[in-house]
Amino acid sequence: MKPLLLIDIDGPLNPYAALSRRTPPEGYQVHRMRPTGWRTGTPLPVLLAPRHGEELLALAARYELVWATTWKDEANEWIGPRLGLPPLPYIDWPAMHAVTAGGTYWKTRHVVDYADGRPFAWVDDEISGSDTAWVAAHHPGRALLRRIDPWVGLVREDFDALADWA
């Protein structure tokens, strides 16, 4: 059985912090979206790089790709098609943005529950040392937690590290 690759969108695929710049980072395109949770009058600007879809599809030979994002099933409607990805399974968070003990990210315990002992790699912009320590203490399988800079998104070194780890 392949390890899981748990993919957050905002930060790794959508370097949202870079939206404050006048022009998108090289290789990114701005898409205007209206996912269910977006309640303002203007569409949500989302930066996406088509090369990320190609990179993720290449990793699909080594991993089972899974959305680990607050976009949940809407990732298959708004993000996946723009990157050339097929519909992917997703983590259906039982609760989002909850306060956690010990300084862990609210997703961490749910990620470990979803993995259910399987090896996994997880890319997210909010992973910290507390999350890495918590996973090491509570997950019986191998795990790679890779924090992604939300100003930059996934880069070549991240894809290489994921390929090597698998």
The β-bridge relationship of strands 64-67 and 44-48 is unpaired
The β-bridge relationship of strands 44-48 and 143-147 is unpaired
The dihedral region occupied by 79, where left means phi > 0, alpha psi between -120 and 50, and beta the remainder, is: alpha
Is residue 120 within 8 Å of 141, Cβ to Cβ?
Answer: yes
> Quick one: which of 44, 90, 48, 49 has its CA closest to 66?
90
pLDDT of residue 44: 84
Three-state secondary-structure class, residue 39: coil
pLDDT by residue for the chain (166 residues), tens only, comes to 899 999 999 999 999 999 988 788 889 999 998 888 777 778 889 999 999 999 999 999 999 999 999 999 999 999 999 999 999 999 998 766 665 667 788 899 999 999 999 999 999 999 999 999 999 999 999 999 999 999 999 999 999 999 999 9
pTM, to two decimals: 0.93
Residues whose CB is less than 8 angstroms from the CB of residue 135 and which lie 6 or more positions away in sequence, other chains included: 108, 111, 112, 143, 145
The domain limits of the chain are: 4-165
pLDDT of residue 153: 96
The number of beta carbons lying within 10 Å of the beta carbon of residue 21 is 11
Structural fold of domain 4-165: Rossmann fold (3.40.50)
Phi, psi for 134 (deg, rounded to 5): -65, -45
Is residue 144 within 8 Å of 164, Cβ to Cβ?
Answer: no
pLDDT of residue 159: 98
